Amino acid sequence: MDNRVMAVGAGPGKPGKKPGPGTGKAVFRAVLAVVLVAIWLGVAGVGGPTFGKLGDVQTNDQAAFLPATAEATRALEWQAKFRTSDAIPAVVVIAGESAIDQDRIKEVAASLKDLGGLDGEIVGPFASEDGLAAQLLVPLDGNAEVDAAVDDLRTELAERIPEGTRAYVTGPAGFSADLVEAFGGIDGVLLGVALGAVFLILLLVYRSVLLPVTVLFTAVAALCAAILAVYFMAKEGWISLDGQSQGILSILVIGAATDYSLLLVARHKEALSKGQDRWEAVVTAWKRSVEPILASGGTVTVGLLCLLFSDLNSNKALGPIGASGIVFSIIAALTFLPAALALLGRKAYWPFMPKPEVRLDAEELPAGLWGRVAGFVGRHPRPIWVLTALVLAAGALGMTQLKASGVPQSELVLGQTDSRDGQLVLGEHFPGGTGSPLFAIVDESRAADLLPRIEDAGGVASAYLQAADGGPALVQAGREPQVVEGRSLISITLDDAADSDAAKATLLDLREMLHGQDPESLVGGTTATLSDTATTAQADLVKIIPLILGAILLILMLLLRSILAPVLLVATTLLSYGTAMGVSAWVFNGIFNFVGADPSVPLFGFVFLVALGVDYNIFLMTRVREESLEHGTRAGVLRGLAVTGGVITSAGVVLAATFAALGIIPIMFLLQLGFIVAFGVLLDTLVVRSLLVPALVHDLGGKVWWPSKLGRTR
């Protein structure tokens, strides 16, 4: 005789049917559900249009993200005192395969004087020594839209330059314009691709129409609420919002809100399968989901808020930006989604309604793929976790190959750009640092003595003391050096491109020499900003990682009422992070041939992979603990794996797909971060949560819950 019993809900009036709620209670529940749905519809209606306004409170100026104590920041503050305008220089390079008619280039320069967006006189042209190129320095208004001004400049040049030549716009203005253009897909394309990928996955998972739309709207509503919060924080000057943080916010909220929704929907479907009505099912699902959702969201939120201890303002800003997204994801998943499910009832799953639950004997596992996986783990726990750990450790060895010391400015945007091509042409015919000079702030009494030492330094093409009009000081011509509060400014053009490793080495040599002669001297400029940013990012890595680990451990200990289990979960997640970074390093170096990685990539990868990776272990282990209380630890972990396998895998695939969508934005940092997190999440979902953790817990048995009472079970 089959020992399994079918638990089928009785219809109205049938024996075994629990009395329904009173009319008043039913009306209250219905009104509450409608009000919650209406509130979130209103939030979406207000927050959606605000998405397009984020660009108004956004800055992509890398210098703005440095800490106030950095030498490059202090140098910029002093440079502002010497500056005669807020112009951003655009370096125009006109080159050909044969000698260029310099008189014709002068005519081109003169014709540009009426160009919109100018802030000062065009300087040049300067002819190259080989006669094959000419250079103009075009000052553009720093308070206007530089990308529009650069586009106009490029259009005008294309129409006016001599035949047989080509003009490039590079330098600070050119790179800034190309970066703005690359971020142009953040507002619409990235969001559309991410939502489309999630919707397709949800259709395949649920084979329903209403449920994917409901879950997707939960994520969109959470994003709209987060956008309102971020817009307000940026407008009030509390945070510095850049394009990278905006893109990460969209992806993070869509992925996290969908994950939390999947967990609640799984519990809701389970409750309906047990015969509960629409209201009972929602209440049961909410009660069973609230703890793991709060714990999972809490780990990510706390991990992101640890970024507030960063010295880089860009990292620091991502803390409250990302945390607000996670908080609203939790709220939406625990308010809008239950309300919508209560109103829809079983119709949410049409045409594949939840089937009555099949109750199993204590030793039985659910049928299907994850039941078979659980059985396999139960038969060979120790070989599985040992072999899996060894494979992951081997992959982690590749971390040593990750070149996260910084990326040249010309490589930030992937693919062909006018600014990158112009920088290459500039380096072929002129000193590479032309248009992006270093500058030294020195004591005015030492300036005349220090100038020749700077000129003779290796890697320096030329240097001059700045006069009041911004040009070179020529005492014999009556152009005295500019002096501000007892200091002078020396402009330094390097042999190498400002964003190159050679330029950074020259910067360090100059700082060492000048600090020895004048301890109060400061050296700044584009090269200094890039170098100090990389140094600060590496220091952040050492400082913030222990904070995140400590916070996550504490949350897990409170959730699981154990010490050993959280330690093991964090250790497995760290191993997974190392593997993801190691494999990513091999991919970046061997397949994509990237020149390096942004210094913030390891830190951001750690924040997302460790915090999000622990999420899946939380989803698993909260269910394992629930099953262990009834069946014991070894049986509980197998039942927990079998029951949660489908929903956690779906959640991991959704999150991986959303982060992979970052690859459509042609920014190296976003592509690298997207690959690392997508690969790492799949690794956590399919290997760590499916094999390593269950096998390890099964092998240890009840000891894993030490020192709680549950630790005395088998």
Q: Span 601-623, mean pLDDT? A: 86
d(CA 231, CA 249): 12
DSSP helix/strand/coil, 491 = strand
Q: List the structure tokens of 190.
A: 């990235």
Give me the count of residues in the chain.
Answer: 714
In a domain, 106, yes or no: yes
In a domain, 99, yes or no: yes
In a domain, 131, yes or no: yes
Higher pLDDT, 31 or 431: 31
- Fill in the DSSP letter of residue 89: E
pLDDT at 241: 79
DSSP string, 94-157: EEESS---HHHHHHHHHHTTT-TTB-SPPEEEEE-TTSSEEEEEEEE-TTS-HHHHHHHHHHHH
Residues 6 or more apart whose CB falls under 8 angstroms from that of 380 comprise 695
Peptide bond into 472 cis (omega under 30): no
Q: Span 45-72, mean pLDDT? A: 74
Check pLDDT > 80 for residue 20: no
Residues 6 or more apart whose CB falls under 8 angstroms from that of 392 comprise 575, 576, 578, 579, 683, 687, 688, 692
Q: Give the domain CATH number at 118.
A: 3.30.70.1430
Of the pLDDT bands very low, low, confident and very high (cuts 50, 70, 90), residue 9 is very low
Q: List the structure tokens of 60.
A: 């992509």
Q: Out of 524, 542, 577, pick the residue that ends a domain.
A: 524
Q: Span 175-192, mean pLDDT? A: 77
Lowest mean pLDDT among 6-15, 94-103, 415-424: 6-15
Q: Which amino acid is at 208?
A: S
- Residue 612 class from Cβ within 10 Å (0-12 exposed, 13-18 middle, 19+ buried)? buried
Check pLDDT > 90 for residue 334: yes
Q: Span 320-332, mean pLDDT? A: 94
Average pLDDT, the chain: 84
Q: Which amino acid is at 201?
A: I
d(CA 664, CA 670): 9
Q: List the structure tokens of 147.
A: 């990308």
Nearest to 523 by CA among 533, 536, 532, 510: 510
In a domain, 36, yes or no: no
In a domain, 156, yes or no: yes
- Digit-coded pLDDT (tens) for 458-501: 899 889 888 877 778 775 556 788 889 999 999 998 888 887 88
Lowest mean pLDDT among 513-522, 587-596, 703-712: 703-712
In a domain, 27, yes or no: no
Check pLDDT > 50 for residue 19: no
b/e per residue 129-163 (b: at least 16 CB within 10 A): eeebbbbbbbbbbbeeebbebbeebbebbeebbee
- Digit-coded pLDDT (tens) for 543-597: 898 998 888 898 888 888 889 989 998 899 899 999 999 999 999 998 888 888 8
d(CA 192, CA 701): 46
d(CA 693, CA 278): 35
- Digit-coded pLDDT (tens) for 153-172: 888 888 888 888 888 888 88
- Residue 184 class from Cβ within 10 Å (0-12 exposed, 13-18 middle, 19+ buried)? middle
- Digit-coded pLDDT (tens) for 620-664: 888 888 888 888 888 889 998 998 888 889 888 998 999 898 888
Nearest to 620 by CA among 285, 336, 273, 374: 374
Q: Out of 135, 155, 181, pick the residue that ends a domain.
A: 181
Beta partners for residue 92, in sequence order: 136, 169
Q: Out of 477, 503, 524, pick the residue that ends a domain.
A: 524
Of the pLDDT bands very low, low, confident and very high (cuts 50, 70, 90), residue 611 is confident
pLDDT at 477: 57
Nearest to 253 by CA among 185, 337, 327: 327
Q: Give the domain CATH number at 475.
A: 3.30.70.60
In a domain, 443, yes or no: yes
Beta partners for residue 33, in sequence order: none
Q: List the structure tokens of 350.
A: 């049409």
Q: How many domains does the chain have?
A: 2
- Structural domain range at position 495: 437-524
In a domain, 10, yes or no: no
